Chains A and B, each alone.
Chain A
Amino acid sequence: MTDLKPRASMNRRSFLKVSMLASGALIIGCGRVGTTDGASIDAETWVANLYVRINTDGTVTIVSKNPEAGQGVKTAFPMVVAECLDVDWKVVSVEQAPLDDRYGRQVVGGSRGTPDGWDDLRVAGTAARQLLVAAAAEGWGVAADECSTENGMVTHANSGNSARYETLLEAAAQLPVPDIDDLDLKSRPSDFSLLGTFVPGVDNQQIHTGQPLFGCDVRLDSMLYAVFEKCPTFGGKVGDANIEQVRKLPGVTHAFIVEGTDDPRGLQAGVAIVANTWWEANSAREKLRVDWVTDQADSTADYDRQAEALLEEPGDTLRSDGDVDATLAGASKVVEATYYYPFVSHANMEPQNCTAHFHESGRVEFWAPTQNPKSGRSLVAETLGIPEDRVHVNLTRIGGGFGRRLRNDFMAEVAWIAREVGQPVQLQWTREDDMRHDFYRPAGWHHFRAGLDDDGKMIAFDHHFVTFGRDGEPVSGASLSPGHYPAGLVPNFRLRQSLIETNVPTGPWRSPGHSAYCWCYQSFFDEVALATGRDALEFRLDLLSRSYGDTQIDRQRVSDTLKLAAEKAGWGERELGEGRGLGIAFHYDHLGYVSHVAEVVADGSSVKVEKVFSAADVGPILNLSGAKNQVEGCVVDALSTAQLEITFANGAVQQSNFSDYELLRIGQAPEIECHFIQSDHSPTGLGEPPIAPATPAITNAIFGATGTRIRELPFARSGIFV
């Protein structure tokens, strides 16, 4: 799986475009036409995709196409271009692209930015560099392949000639662009000088001095501020509201009922209040009285009752390998356990907001903190009944994504309000709006039975998953792949599924599904290992040493991360003593392999996660700082979320703010030691893979330290406090 050539998605019909700006700046873009790769759902037609501008003063502007939500892409992507262009990072400035179809996929999600962008970014930088080399070589009358580049300079060692890039722009612009197959792309860590180093974020200076960067920081001439009250129960409609009274309140310019659509991901019914300042809009909202029409009454207590009953039923069999029932009946030992995790919220620090201006011409312009601007544009066009080409989306920095902003309900809301108001409007949700109108990670129950042979080998695995559905299909974020391990690692395997009907909106939450399922599997593996007195690491490595059909997992890569994390933690080498435990877990998702070892100390039911040793294989590391940040962030996110839950009563969310949904504080955060196996694979994303195995590593360590096996989240349900 080496990656010396671009992948099939970049085919031979790809082409490059070069143009010279009036200012003398050379623009190089790589484009792709007639893409034939049907495997990519985002196989767009690329026409002229601009990434690189080299200026006559020697500075270089690199465009970052994807939204930045803290995943570090605005720094890492331009680093790839700069590496291949061979320029000094100090001369590079980065520009955020708006939504522009020429860039193809512009999404923060699925940890796909890196694997999807790797080829295009390298092509953009390399093509520019090779053109500059060709221009220099032609001028000197020498062969291009005798020239080399370094820090924005072409050199021909034999003749002693050298030229800075900025002196070659005009000559380069006259040359035919290289064929994509003639590009010599850097692929491996040994090729890199900038990639793999620790590079601080390109927006740091603005963040540290409080400059406007985020969606809520947008300020436009004559801009008004809006709040939008929705039914506390999902999908409720407005019966009546005291609109006339609200309109007369101080600062209020507009108040009106929005009927909404039937799209649960789109414009909900509610009441919009617009004012000269946000505080006045929100103060008026306190005087708003709405009679809601709703017939939904989902509750956590009812879900629990349904799950209890469903766990007694066989469920629908999604996969069956071998003969699970006979193997369990004949097994020398059977281990059985049920795991439960609750609904959780995304809780971005920046509550949902969006700014829009519906121009008289019919064009609507957005300043949107969205992870998926293209789907936001479609939603707006559909909601307003206007063509998509009337919708322009500027991308702002995002104060936390985690999957919440893959949904664009806030864009639909502000679009509707902006058209009604006719001047620029910023919609700002309250924290309470944000917590009560999320697309939650769904809860789930997992009942496992493992059959072991005389040697303690797992020979049968029966899994009943009770999850949430609507109209007989799992809701977003609630489905489990029948190929998920230990499928393929155990000769007799069965996955059964039962659905609880829900009205609650659900959606992707950092590493959808995996962040919950992995905790169940990896906790249960410890129980199975313990039942036969086997070491938790040895049991896992042994499990990964055999396969029975397709495992969807590179067993060697994942085993290597297990061994590395264990080695760094001193697994099996240290005397831990009373009240101290180590826990281990591995996982594979979003093309990334990660294992963690957590070290926990306990004082009764009070535990402290002291340190987490992480080992990841996502191929070569682009930005060492960004990569470590994602590992560190995922570990903290896992520990934080394992102590949180969203519950429902009478169809509404019971939590409202950080007072009853309190994220982890600094004193509870562990030290984190990151190790990377820079394997010879294409680089892949890190925004998600480290989170899933962090939770079970921690709970397995808690078991070691306290003897308490956590089978229900949040921790408090098991009487454990961090």
Chain B
Amino acid sequence: MSSVTLKINGQSYSLDAPSDMPLLWALRDKLNLVGTKYSCGIGVCGSCTVLVNGVPMRSCVMPAISMAGMDITTIEGLDPAGQHPVQQAWNEEDVAQCGYCQAGQILTASALLSQNPDPSDEDIDSAMAGVMCRCGTYHRIRKAIKRAAREGGAS
């Protein structure tokens, strides 16, 4: 067990975790932040995406104790009221089917829009390539990102 203090969604959390425990499992099993999802465990599907200093990262392959001092945003912290332009666009386009991968999709899209407020189709496909959706909501993800861009997604 190792002790670490993590800064998540603007709050400080101190916890003891096995030294190899990925951030994903610290979030889910230690901190009860279950919005971040397990799916592949090897960093290829993107369901476990969190923002680390604003950059989308795979929480399933990053040891929690290595994350001290970094600014971590999970889906719970993007905007708890669901008013972020990406969240709103996701609702208006009704993107989700099962919804399981959508935390990773939304966080990745919000990071894209903070870097690139007016992404092209190619920009979107490239930025979103790392997050798999089994239900096939890709068509709407593109539409929702464009809607969020129109309606102020960089905020």
Asked if A205 and B142 sit within 8 Å, CB to CB, the answer is: no
Closest 9 A/B residue pairs (Cβ): A210-B35, A636-B136, A70-B98, A399-B100, A210-B75, A70-B97, A669-B138, A667-B125, A633-B136
Instruction: Select from chain B the residue with minimum beta-carbon distance to A399.
Output: B100
Q: In the bound complex, how far is the Cα of B92 from the Cα of A219, in angstroms?
A: 30
Asked if B42 and A657 sit within 8 Å, CB to CB, the answer is: yes
Q: Does A707 contact B (CB under 8 A)?
A: no
Give the residues from 61 to 99 in chain B that come closer than 8 angstroms, CB to CB, to chain A.
74-76, 78-82, 87, 90-92, 94, 96-99
Q: In the bound complex, how far is the Cα of B136 from the Cα of A402, in angstroms?
A: 12
The interface-forming segment of A52-60, A343-351, A441-449, A562-570 is A343-351
Beyond known contacts A208-B75, A633-B137: 9 more, CB 8 A cutoff: A204-B90, A207-B96, A209-B76, A219-B34, A277-B30, A349-B45, A351-B38, A400-B100, A430-B41
Asked if A633 and B39 sit within 8 Å, CB to CB, the answer is: no
Q: Does A632 contact B (CB under 8 A)?
A: yes
Asked if A208 and B90 sit within 8 Å, CB to CB, the answer is: yes
Q: Which residues of A contact B131 (CB under 8 A)?
A: 666
Asked if B39 and A349 sit within 8 Å, CB to CB, the answer is: yes
Q: In the bound complex, how far is the Cα of B106 from the Cα of A216, in angstroms?
A: 20
Asked if A633 and B42 sit within 8 Å, CB to CB, the answer is: no
Q: Given A400-B134, A629-B137, verify A72-B35 contact (CB < 8 Å).
A: no
B22 vs chain A, min Cβ distance (A):
7
Instruction: Select from chain B the residue with minimum beta-carbon distance to A219.
Output: B32
Asked if B74 and A634 sit within 8 Å, CB to CB, the answer is: no
Q: In the bound complex, how far is the Cα of B7 from the Cα of A490, in angstroms?
A: 69
Q: Does A254 contact B (CB under 8 A)?
A: no
Q: Which residues of A contact B18 (CB under 8 A)?
A: 250-251, 279-280, 283
Instruction: Select from chain A the residue with minimum beta-carbon distance to B64.
Output: A279
The interface-forming segment of A195-203, A451-459, A500-508 is A195-203
Instruction: Select from chain A the residue with minimum beta-carbon distance to B34.
Output: A217
Asked if B94 and A625 sit within 8 Å, CB to CB, the answer is: yes
Q: Which residues of B contact A207 (CB under 8 A)?
A: 96, 99, 102-103
Q: In the bound complex, how far is the Cα of B41 from the Cα of A627, in angstroms?
A: 32
Asked if B25 and A659 sit within 8 Å, CB to CB, the answer is: no
Instruction: Select from chain B the residue with minimum beta-carbon distance to A75.
Output: B94
Asked if A203 and B99 sit within 8 Å, CB to CB, the answer is: yes
User: CB within 8 A of A277: which of B25, B99, B100?
Assistant: B25
Give the residues from 101 to 138 in chain B that come closer than 8 angstroms, CB to CB, to chain A.
101-103, 106, 124-126, 128-129, 131-138
Q: Does B151 contact A (CB under 8 A)?
A: no
Asked if A669 and B139 sit within 8 Å, CB to CB, the answer is: yes
User: Which of the listed residues A72, A225, A633 has the most CB atoms from chain B within 10 Å of its own CB?
Assistant: A633
Asked if A663 and B82 sit within 8 Å, CB to CB, the answer is: no
Chain B residues with CB under 8 Å of chain A are 1, 18, 20-22, 25, 28-30, 32-42, 44-45, 47, 74-76, 78-82, 87, 90-92, 94, 96-103, 106, 124-126, 128-129, 131-142
Asked if A629 and B98 sit within 8 Å, CB to CB, the answer is: no
Q: Which residues of B contact A40 (CB under 8 A)?
A: none
Asked if B126 and A349 sit within 8 Å, CB to CB, the answer is: no
Give the residues from 247 to 269 in chain A that come closer than 8 angstroms, CB to CB, to chain B.
250-251
User: CB within 8 A of B106: which of A70, A208, A214?
Assistant: A208
Q: In the bound complex, how far is the Cα of B1 from the Cα of A632, in angstroms?
A: 47
Q: Which residues of A contact B34 (CB under 8 A)?
A: 210, 212, 216-217, 219
Q: Given A207-B99, A348-B134, verify A666-B128 contact (CB < 8 Å).
A: yes
B8 vs chain A, min Cβ distance (A):
12
User: Which of the listed residues A208, A397, A629, A665 has the most CB atoms from chain B within 10 Å of its own CB?
Assistant: A208
Asked if B75 and A70 sit within 8 Å, CB to CB, the answer is: no
Q: In the bound complex, how far is the Cα of B96 from the Cα of A213, in angstroms?
A: 13
Asked if B29 and A663 sit within 8 Å, CB to CB, the answer is: no
Instruction: Select from chain B the residue with minimum beta-carbon distance to A691.
Output: B136
Q: Does A63 contact B (CB under 8 A)?
A: no
B145 vs chain A, min Cβ distance (A):
10
Asked if B74 and A210 sit within 8 Å, CB to CB, the answer is: yes
Q: Given A629-B94, A657-B42, verify A665-B132 contact (CB < 8 Å).
A: yes
User: Which of the listed residues B39, B40, B80, B100 has the most CB atoms from chain A within 10 Å of its own CB?
Assistant: B100
Instruction: Select from chain B the residue with minimum beta-carbon distance to A276.
Output: B29
Q: Which residues of B contact A219 (CB under 8 A)?
A: 32, 34
User: CB within 8 A of A208: which of B29, B82, B140, B141?
Assistant: B82
Q: In the bound complex, how far is the Cα of B144 from the Cα of A207, in angstroms?
A: 15
Asked if A636 and B138 sit within 8 Å, CB to CB, the answer is: yes
Asked if A72 and B97 sit within 8 Å, CB to CB, the answer is: yes
Chain A residues with CB under 8 Å of chain B are 69-72, 198-201, 203-205, 207-214, 216-217, 219, 225, 250-251, 277-280, 283, 347-351, 397-402, 428, 430-431, 625-626, 629, 632-637, 640, 657-659, 662-667, 669-672
Q: In the bound complex, how far is the Cα of B80 from the Cα of A70, in angstroms?
A: 23
Asked if A632 and B137 sit within 8 Å, CB to CB, the answer is: yes
User: CB within 8 A of A349: which of B44, B78, B134?
Assistant: B134
Q: In the bound complex, how far is the Cα of B45 from the Cα of A349, in angstroms?
A: 9
Could you write out 24 A-B pairs with CB less than 8 Å apart?
A: A71-B97, A200-B92, A200-B94, A201-B94, A208-B90, A208-B91, A209-B87, A211-B76, A212-B34, A214-B37, A214-B99, A219-B32, A225-B29, A349-B135, A398-B98, A430-B41, A431-B39, A632-B137, A632-B139, A635-B136, A640-B134, A666-B138, A667-B125, A669-B138
Q: In the bound complex, how far is the Cα of B150 from the Cα of A210, in angstroms?
A: 24
User: CB within 8 A of A397: which of B1, B99, B125?
Assistant: B99
Asked if B87 and A657 sit within 8 Å, CB to CB, the answer is: no
Q: In the bound complex, how far is the Cα of B21 from the Cα of A118, in angstroms?
A: 48
Q: In the bound complex, how far is the Cα of B78 from the Cα of A56, in angstroms?
A: 36
Q: In the bound complex, how far is the Cα of B139 from the Cα of A704, in angstroms?
A: 24
Q: Given A217-B34, A349-B132, verify A666-B97 contact (CB < 8 Å).
A: no
Q: In the bound complex, how far is the Cα of B101 from the Cα of A665, in angstroms?
A: 13
Asked if B94 and A204 sit within 8 Å, CB to CB, the answer is: yes
Q: Given A350-B98, A633-B136, A633-B137, verify A205-B35 contact (CB < 8 Å).
A: no
Q: Which residues of A contact B20 (CB under 8 A)?
A: 279, 283
Q: In the bound complex, how far is the Cα of B153 from the Cα of A482, in angstroms?
A: 55
Q: Which residues of A contact B99 (CB under 8 A)?
A: 70, 201, 203, 207, 213-214, 397, 399
User: CB within 8 A of A210: which of B76, B94, B97, B141?
Assistant: B76
Q: Which residues of B contact A277 (CB under 8 A)?
A: 21, 25, 29-30
Q: In the bound complex, how far is the Cα of B73 from the Cα of A332, in angstroms?
A: 69
Q: Which residues of A contact B106 (CB under 8 A)?
A: 208
Q: Given A213-B99, A658-B45, verify A634-B38 contact (CB < 8 Å).
A: no
B101 vs chain A, min Cβ distance (A):
5
Q: In the bound complex, how far is the Cα of B140 from the Cα of A670, in angstroms?
A: 11
Q: Given A200-B94, A210-B36, A665-B129, verify A349-B25 contact (CB < 8 Å).
A: no
Asked if B41 and A431 sit within 8 Å, CB to CB, the answer is: yes
